[in-house]
């Protein structure tokens, strides 16, 4: 009888801890952000952006909505993005690690456009 209570107690505590870990990790699953920089390299699967301090790689996957002009109204092709261009990349950073970012949108910044404000990461 006492052994069954101990098993029940350990099972209850274990399930509670697992549930709390799942809730905490779910809240940290993905964050959004944006980066303004210069295109270093672009392929069909990824784009490398050189910022102030480092070069960051963004994967282009299912969540990628496309390339837009600086005004945000004209949709462009990924082949229009060339190394040396100034762009703003909106992205989602997943919980897999800091190195894994998925681009959701690329805005081409022209020489006459003002840099778009970068939203704070959530």
**Domain-embedded: residue 122:** no
Q: Which domain holds residue 39?
A: 30-109
What is the radius of gyration, based on Cα positions, of the chain?
Answer: 21
In-domain check, residue 3: no
Which parts of 1-122 fold into alpha helices (H)? 2-27
Tell me whether residue 55 is in a domain: yes
119 is a domain residue: no
Q: How many domains does the chain have?
A: 1
Q: Express each pLDDT in 7-49 by its tens digit.
A: 655 556 555 555 544 544 445 556 889 999 999 999 999 999 9
CATH at residue 71: 2.40.50.320
- The answer to whether residue 20 sits within a structural domain is no
Residue in 120, 92, 103, 99 with CA at minimum distance from that of residue 28: 92
Is 84 inside any structural domain?
A: yes
pLDDT of 72 = 74
Tell whether the model's pLDDT for residue 106 goes beyond 50: yes
Q: How far apart are CA 46 and CA 11, in angstroms?
A: 45
């Amino acid at each position: 009888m006492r052994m069954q209570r101990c098993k029940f107690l350990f099972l209850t505590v274990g399930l509670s801890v697992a549930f709390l870990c799942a809730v905490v990790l779910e809240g940290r699953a993905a964050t959004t952000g944006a980066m303004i920089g210069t295109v270093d390299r672009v392929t069909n699967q990824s784009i490398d952006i050189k910022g102030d301090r480092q070069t960051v790689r963004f994967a282009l996957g299912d969540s990628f909505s496309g390339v837009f002009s600086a005004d945000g109204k004209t949709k462009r092709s990924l082949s229009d993005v060339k190394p040396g261009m100034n762009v703003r990349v909106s992205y989602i950073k997943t919980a897999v690690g800091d190195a894994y970012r998925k681009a959701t949108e690329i805005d081409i910044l022209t020489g006459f456009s003002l840099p778009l404000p970068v939203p704070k990461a959530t």
